[in-house]
């Protein structure tokens, strides 16, 4: 007992004895003394006794959780708030999809549920096939997925994929997902050039339409790579590339970087065209003109 220090429990005031080392440690860090873990927990648990503002029931709550208005339960809080704040006016409406009557406070809601709203936006397989056929007739070729982007999701949900929808319409898909980067859909442009895709044919036809003299499949200096088109403006050589599979394949992206480095090394101007420059089609004319405005007079 000679080496022990007598102290008192902070909670119950009961005398306790601590060694000199423990005593000095508590003084150094300004810790309180407790006779047991139970007393320490009781002292630190500083809950306040409160009365519910709705039902006047007594309850305890930690000091950090005490607010301006305190309620014993969520239901009591809702009851008081509903009395203080009047509810929004609701109207009896009829769902335009299923005809069911429902109450809604928002004027622009036309459906009784999210399920009805989704069903209302879905098209039937016959309607989707009709859109595909009409688009193909208008373009005089099989449409690309980007050209009918508004119905693409519906086609995927009903037919399983865009290519399945094209097959259901009695057409031949341009390129399957499995054969990309390995199988090309050879398309002939209006000037007789053979292109590796419909998108390349669109660019080739645009060049011919604007009287831009061009060559196809021109090799890069000292390499196996080939540029899609070459255009000469005076003595200046311009390569045109359509990077239709950018961010679609790591191998393809590496080829894009190599071509850009070769153009920089050999001082060749490169005009890079991406799918976003061609689709939707109504903006392709403006986008292509912007690509060539610094190099050609169109």
Q: Quick one: pLDDT at residue 216?
A: 93
**pLDDT band (50, 70, 90) for residue 168:** confident
Q: Quick one: pLDDT at residue 265?
A: 92
**pLDDT band (50, 70, 90) for residue 228:** very high
Residue 83 or 256, more confident: 256
Q: Quick one: pLDDT at residue 158?
A: 82
Instruction: Kindly tell me if the per-residue pLDDT of 88 is higher than 70.
Output: no
Taking phi over 0 as left and psi of -120 to 50 as alpha, with beta for the rest, 140 belongs to left
pLDDT tens, 98-124?
888 877 765 667 777 777 777 766 778
Range scoring the smallest mean pLDDT among 75-89, 132-146, 214-228: 75-89
Residue 263 or 158, more confident: 263
Among 142-151, 161-170, 172-181, 260-269, top mean pLDDT goes to 260-269
Query: Of 221, 193, 228, 202, nearest to 285 (Cα)?
Result: 202
- Encoded tokens for 112: 């009784």
- 187-292 belongs to which homologous superfamily? VSR Endonuclease (3.40.960.10)
Question: What mean pLDDT do residues 168-191 have?
Answer: 68
- Domains of the chain by residue range: 4-83, 91-121, 125-168, 187-292
- Encoded tokens for 42: 């009781």
Q: Give the sign of the dihedral formed by CA 176, CA 177, CA 179, CA 182.
A: positive
Instruction: Kindly tell me if the per-residue pLDDT of 183 is higher than 60.
Output: no
pLDDT tens, 12-42?
889 998 888 888 888 888 898 899 988 888 8
Question: What mean pLDDT do residues 67-79 have?
Answer: 88
Give the C-alpha distances (Å, rounded to integers) separating 46 from 62, 65, 66, 234.
6, 11, 11, 87
**pLDDT over 90 for what percent of the chain?**
20
Q: Quick one: pLDDT at residue 178?
A: 44
Query: Of 218, 229, 244, 246, nearest to 292 (Cα)?
Result: 229
For residue 230, the number of C-alpha atoms closer than 13 Å in the C-beta half-sphere is: 16
pLDDT tens, 119-129?
766 778 888 88
Averaged pLDDT score across all residues of the chain: 83
Q: Quick one: pLDDT at residue 145?
A: 78
Question: What mean pLDDT do residues 6-10 have?
Answer: 89
Instruction: Kindly tell me if the per-residue pLDDT of 217 is higher than 60.
Output: yes
Instruction: Kindly tell me if the per-residue pLDDT of 180 is higher than 60.
Output: no
Instruction: Kindly tell me if the per-residue pLDDT of 205 is higher than 90.
Output: yes
The size of the chain, in residues, is 298
């Amino acid at each position: 007992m000679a080496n022990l220090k007598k102290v008192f429990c902070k909670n119950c005031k009961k005398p306790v004895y601590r060694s000199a080392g423990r005593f000095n440690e508590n003084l150094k860090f300004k810790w309180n003394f407790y006779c047991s873990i139970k007393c320490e927990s009781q002292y630190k648990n500083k809950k306040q006794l409160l009365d519910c503002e709705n039902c006047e029931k007594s309850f305890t709550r930690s000091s950090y959780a005490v607010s301006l208005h305190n309620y014993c339960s969520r239901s009591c809080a809702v009851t008081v708030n509903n009395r203080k704040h009047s509810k929004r006016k609701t109207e009896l409406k009829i769902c335009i999809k299923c005809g069911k009557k429902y109450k809604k406070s928002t004027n622009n809601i036309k459906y009784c549920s999210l399920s009805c709203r989704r069903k209302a936006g879905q098209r039937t397989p016959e309607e989707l096939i009709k859109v595909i056929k009409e688009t193909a007739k208008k373009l005089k070729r099989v449409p690309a997925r980007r050209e009918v982007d508004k119905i693409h999701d519906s086609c995927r949900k009903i037919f399983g994929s865009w290519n399945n929808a094209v097959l259901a319409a009695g057409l031949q898909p341009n390129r399957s997902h499995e054969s990309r980067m390995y199988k090309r859909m050879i398309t002939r442009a209006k000037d007789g050039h053979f292109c590796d895709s419909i998108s390349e044919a669109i660019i080739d036809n645009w060049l011919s339409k604007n009287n831009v003299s061009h060559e196809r499949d021109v090799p890069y200096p000292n390499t196996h790579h080939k540029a899609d088109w070459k255009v000469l403006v005076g003595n200046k050589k311009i390569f045109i590339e359509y990077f239709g599979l950018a961010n679609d394949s790591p191998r393809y992206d590496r080829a894009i970087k190599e071509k850009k480095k070769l153009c920089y090394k050999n001082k060749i101007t490169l005009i890079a065209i991406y799918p976003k420059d061609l689709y939707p089609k109504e903006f392709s004319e403006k986008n292509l003109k912007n690509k060539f405005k610094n190099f050609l007079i169109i």
